Amino acid sequence: SQQGEEDPQALSIQEGENATMNCSYKTSINNLQWYRQNSGRGLVHLILIRSNEREKHSGRLRVTLDTSKKSSSLLITASRAADTASYFCATDEAAAGNKLTFGGGTRVLVKP
């Protein structure tokens, strides 16, 4: 079963624009992670935010976490064609024992 649900399912933007995607989850978590997957490849870890953190930055990425609403967002600023990929949120559930549960992903297309 999938804990996280990403929104939107797909996103198409022009190069230079910002891309925002959201993730909602259902149970208490230790941390929430975002991964990127290029077509036909494995997943690459982008950023991890712990349950006691509210915001985290890494380069052009900004992640927020609202544990009261059980939601997170990933913002990619000044997008590039190379950012075209699927983005997945994954939750490390407090009761699940170091096991990541992934959402269905947001497919992002950045047009040059």
Q: Which residues contact another protein (rule: CB under 8 A)?
A: 2, 4, 30-31, 33, 35, 40-45, 48, 50, 88, 92, 97-105
Cα–Cα dist 104/112, whole Å:
26
Q: How far is the CB of 97 from another protein (least distance, A)?
A: 7
Q: How far is the CB of 37 from another protein (least distance, A)?
A: 9
Pair type for strands 19-24 and 5-7: antiparallel
Q: How far is the CB of 35 from another protein (least distance, A)?
A: 8
**Cβ distance to another protein smaller for residue 14 or 95:** 95
**Cβ distance to another protein smaller for residue 4 or 70:** 4
Is the previous residue joined to 8 through a cis bond, with omega within 30 degrees of 0?
A: yes
Contact 54, 68 (CB under 8 A): no
Pair type for strands 43-50 and 100-102: unpaired
